[in-house]
Every structure is written in C-alpha cells, then in structure tokens.
Structure 1
Amino acid sequence: MHVRVTFVAAASSTRPIAERFDDDSPLDREGWEGIQRVVPGLAPLAAADLRYCSPTPRSRATGDLLGYVPMVQPALRDCDMGRWRGMTLAEAMAREPQAVDAWLADPRSAPHGGESLLAFITRVGGWLDTRPSDDGATIIAVAEPGVIRAALTYALKAPPSVYWNVDVRPLSAVTVLGRPGRWTLRLDVPYAPPVRA
C-alpha cells in the first residue's frame, strides 16, 4: 500500500530579500501572476483524492486559485519562530547574533522561544506519516517553502542540517511516494497528473 503526496510551494508574497519569519502576507501581484502562468501545469492536481494547505493566506489563496479548494491543516504551518516572528534573518542577526548562530548550528536549539528545527521537521513528518494510506491514494498539499523543506528532509531520513540545503521555489512541485516511515522522492518534470494502475 502506498500514497502519493505532491507538495506545491505557495506563490510569492514578498521579494526574497524581504522574506520574514512566519510571514502571513497575502499574495502580491507577482504571486497572482505567477499562478496564472502555471495553472495549465498544476491545475490537473485538483483531481487528487485529498487536498490540503498550510494555514497562511498565500497558501490558501494559491490552492484556491489553482482550483484545489484545499482544507487547512494546522500541522502544515511554518516553523514557530517565537520572538523572531516577522523579522528577517538579518534583523534577527543584528539583534541576537549569538542566538542566531546557535539556532543555525544546532537543530535542537530554539533560542527564539519558538520551535526548534528538529521539532518542526518532526511535526511535519508526523503529518506526512498520518496521511490515509489507501493504495494509490493521491494527495496535494500547498505549503510554505519551509514546510516542504521539512517534509523532504523527513521523508529522505536526512540529518536536519540537510534542511538548509533544500531550495524550494514558489509554485514548484515535488512528490513523495510511499507509506509511513518509507518515503521515496519523485520528481515529475514537466508535471503530469498521476496515472492510476
């Protein structure tokens, strides 16, 4: 028995230079236009058996504009950044350089008072492992890039440090196939709807 979970990264809401921790910004014009460009390739995913999204405004809007009508999943929220919420990495570094260094170096560290990287990866992995495992079930999840990075780190059983080496671009898609505790990364380029056996 296996399940296919395709993650779609939410459209952009800010320029990368201004990305903020736990940013709840809505879609901007560039994000909306990006969705219009990818609709032909990503809209077929709406045929998935189950459709989910992160609770952020841009994840919900991305899913709705792609025709998924996804259910919000609190477990797919981005990492809780505690008192750094709303800051850029540069702002956090300027205020608390030693704390940022500790957070980047130790996946169990949570000097900001929020969630450690390891706890975040474990939470997202727990969501992945509790998906319905009807043989051949298809799931779509629109999520923030950080959530997708955490899911891939977990699925590949990679050390938490790998999280920092996964680059997830807005409106990109990646699939994991398997069952709880046994996931395989699958790249579909260009994206084609899954074929049922």
Structure 2
Amino acid sequence: MSLRVTFVAAARSAPLRAERFEDDRPLDRDGWGQVERAAPGLLPLAAAELRYCSPAPRSRATGTGLGYAPLVQLALRDCDMGRWRGLTLAEASAREPAAVAAWLADPLAAPHGGEPLYGFIGRVGGWLDTRPVEDGGAVVAVAEPSVIRAALVYALNAPPAAYWRLDVRPLSAVGVVGGAGRWRLRFDGTPVQRSIP
C-alpha cells in the first residue's frame, strides 16, 4: 500500500529578504499574480482525494486560488519561533547573534523560546505518517517552504542539518510516496515540478 503526498509551496507574501518568521501576512498583489500564473500547471493536483493547507493566510489563499478548497491542518503550521515571531533572520541576528548562531547549529536548541528544529521536523513528520494510506491514494498539501523542508527531511530520514540545505521555491511542488516510516521522494515529470521564481 502506498500513498502519494504532494506538497505545494505557498506563494510569497513579501520579497525573500523581507520574509519573517511565522509570517501571517496575506498574499499581496504580486503573490496573487504568481498563483494565477502557476494555476494551469498545478490545477491537476485538485483531483487529490484529500486537500490540506497550513493555517497561515498565504497558504490558505494559495490553496483556494489554485482551486483545491483545502482543509486547514494545525500540524502544518510553521515552526514556533517564540519571541522571534515576526522578525526577519537579519533582525533576529542583530538582536541576539549568539542565540541565532546556537539555533542554526543545534537542532535541539530553542533559544527563542519556541520550538526547536528537531521538534518542528518531528511534528510535521508525525502529520505525514498519520495520513490514511490507500493504495494509489493522493493528497495535496499547501504549506510554507519551511514546512515542506521539514517534511522532506523527515521523509528522507535525513539529519536535521539537511533542513538548511533544501531550497523550496514559492509555488513549487514535490511529492513523497509511501507510508508511515517508509517514504520516498518522487520526481515524475508531471506538472508538480513547476516553480515560479
């Protein structure tokens, strides 16, 4: 029995350098334009039996804009960044350089008072492992790039440091196939390989 879960990265709500931890801003005009341009290539994923999204406004809007009518899943929320919520990485580094360095170096560290990277990866992986496995079944989940990176690290059973080496672009998609504890990354040349810069 195997299930296919395709993750679609939410459209961007701000320029990359202005991205904030746990960004809860809605899509701006550029973000909606990205969704409109990506929709033809990503629309076939709406045929999935189960369609989910993270609770973040940009993920919900992206899923709705792509025609998925997704159900919100709290387990797909971004990493809890504690007192760094709403800051950019540069702002957090300027305020607490040693704490940021510790957080980047140690997946068990949570100097911000929120969730450690290791816990975040485990939470997202737990959600992935509890999807109902139906042979040939399909799931689509729209989430922030950070959530997708966590899911991929978990699915590949990679060390947490691999999280920092994954680049997930807005409106890109990647699939994993399998079931609890036995996931494989899958590239198959379908529209899920589309990415909007």
Structures share a fold, TM > 0.5? yes
Aligned residue number for residue 27 of structure 2: 27
- Structure 1 residue 161, shift from structure 2 partner: 0.2
* Unmatched runs of 5 consecutive residues or more in structure 1: 193-197
CA distance in 1, matches of 2:35, 2:152: 23
Structure 2 residue 169 is the aligned partner of structure 1 residue 176: no
Q: Which moved more, 1:180-189 or 1:168-177?
A: 180-189
- Partner residue in 2 for 1:63: 63
Residues 2-29 of structure 1 deviation map (CA, whole Å, 9 limit, x = unaligned): 1000000000100001011000010011
Tell me, in whole angstroms, the C-alpha distance in 2 between the residues paired with 1:91 and 1:35.
29
Helix, strand or coil for the counterpart of 2:5? strand
> CA–CA distance in 2 between the matches of 1:177 and 1:129?
11
State the number of aligned residues: 192
Look up the match of 2:11. 11
**What does 1:35-46 align with in structure 2 at a 5 Å threshold?**
35-46=35-46
Post-superposition offset of 1:187: 1.8
Supply the AA of the counterpart residue of 2:85.
Answer: R
Q: Residue 72 of structure 1 corresponds to which residue in structure 2?
A: 72
How far has the Cα of 1:189 moved from its partner?
3.3
Aligned pairs (5 A) from 1:71-150: 71-150=71-150
1:33 counterpart SS class? helix
RMSD: 0.8
Cα distance, 1:50 vs. partner? 0.1
**What is the letter of the counterpart of residue 21 of structure 2?**
F
Deviation, 1:188, is: 3.5
Provide the C-alpha distance between the structure 2 equivalents of 1:28 and 1:189, rounded to a whole number of angstroms. 30
Residue matched to 1:195: none
1:182 match: secondary structure: coil
C-alpha distance in 2, partners of 1:109/1:54?
A: 24
Q: Which amino acid aligns with 2:171?
A: L
SS in structure 1 of the partner of residue 171 of structure 2: coil
Q: Tell me if the contact between 1:153 and 1:160 (Cα under 8 Å) persists in the aligned partners.
A: yes
Which secondary structure does the structure 1 equivalent of 2:191 belong to? coil
| TM-score for the superposition, normalised by structure 1 | 0.96
Shift of 1:190: 4.3
- In structure 2, give the amino acid aligned to 1:84: W
The Cα shift of 1:186 comes to 0.8
SS at match of 2:151: helix
4+ aligned runs moved over 2 Å, structure 1: none
